[in-house]
Amino acid sequence: MGLLFDLADKYNTDKRWQDHGYVLIYEQLMESKRLTTNKMLEIGFGGGASARMWREYFPNADIYCMEYKDEEYKDVWNSPELEIEDVDLIIGDSTKVESWNEMPYELDFIVDDGSHFSKDQMATFMLGFPHVKSGGLYIVEDLHCTFEERYGATDDIYKWVFNMIMEQQTPGRNYGGNFYQCRGAMPEIVRDIYSYQFTKSLIIFQKA
């Protein structure tokens, strides 16, 4: 177990091994890029635990967080404890195009730990994935929540992803399966997704 495990414990984020355990796959995906990562975004700020973890883990990166703010939580958002040095907190709805106007492109990583509703995860992906650089990763967390009643009890996001996979595979019949040869024949929604990886409660999209 490496640095990310220690930082997840230090800041008590639920990504730590004792909770969701995401640090296991994240360290596999990110360790070799830790010092060369330039920009990353997490959607869903919460109490800032993960933002603090990312800030220390990626010492050379610009760290962004996007969080929805409404009147119910206005006093919470005024707390000085949520001000994290060198973390750019963007207040906005990740499903709305105007919230992405402040967000740069060429992000190394996007982690969606937002509302956990499938409809929001899908809408956020459509707006956020163009901001990922070639070879970068877009990660949707907490897919187990979609089966809970409070999050809609639906498998819509799985159907959506597998439909995209099928849209990619159909042109491949004519090009021997080579992604880049097939790319021009693919629908726009999928032509920039090079790979999909499902792990425990996560889906990881790699940008072509």
What's 82's domain CATH number? 3.40.50.150
Residue located via tokens 């996560």: 202
Distance CA 128, CA 89 (A): 16
Q: Tell me what the pLDDT averaged over the chain comes to.
A: 91
Say what the pTM is: 0.93
Asked if residue 165 is part of any domain, the answer here is: no
* pLDDT at residue 74, rounded to an integer: 58
Distance CA 90, CA 113 (A): 14
DSSP-assigned letters across all residues of 32-63: GGTTT--EEEEE--TTSHHHHHHHHHSTTSEE
Average pLDDT on 162-184 reads: 80
Domain count, the chain: 1
Average pLDDT on 131-144 reads: 97
Rg (CA), the chain: 17
Task: Flag whether pLDDT at 43 surpasses 70.
Answer: yes
Confidence of residue 185 (pLDDT cuts 50, 70, 90): confident
Average pLDDT on 161-171 reads: 87
Confidence of residue 168 (pLDDT cuts 50, 70, 90): confident
Asked if residue 199 is part of any domain, the answer here is: no
Average pLDDT on 81-107 reads: 91
Average pLDDT on 84-89 reads: 92
Asked if residue 177 is part of any domain, the answer here is: no
Task: Flag whether pLDDT at 206 surpasses 90.
Answer: yes
Asked if residue 85 is part of any domain, the answer here is: yes
Task: Flag whether pLDDT at 81 surpasses 70.
Answer: no
Asked if residue 57 is part of any domain, the answer here is: yes
Average pLDDT on 5-34 reads: 96
Among 66, 6, 54, residue whose Cα is nearest residue 30: 54
* pLDDT at residue 72, rounded to an integer: 58
Task: Flag whether pLDDT at 51 surpasses 70.
Answer: yes
* pLDDT at residue 181, rounded to an integer: 84
Task: Flag whether pLDDT at 177 surpasses 80.
Answer: no
Asked if residue 39 is part of any domain, the answer here is: yes
Asked if residue 194 is part of any domain, the answer here is: no
Domain that holds residue 136: 3-142
Among 135, 133, 121, 109, residue whose Cα is nearest residue 57: 109
Asked if residue 88 is part of any domain, the answer here is: yes
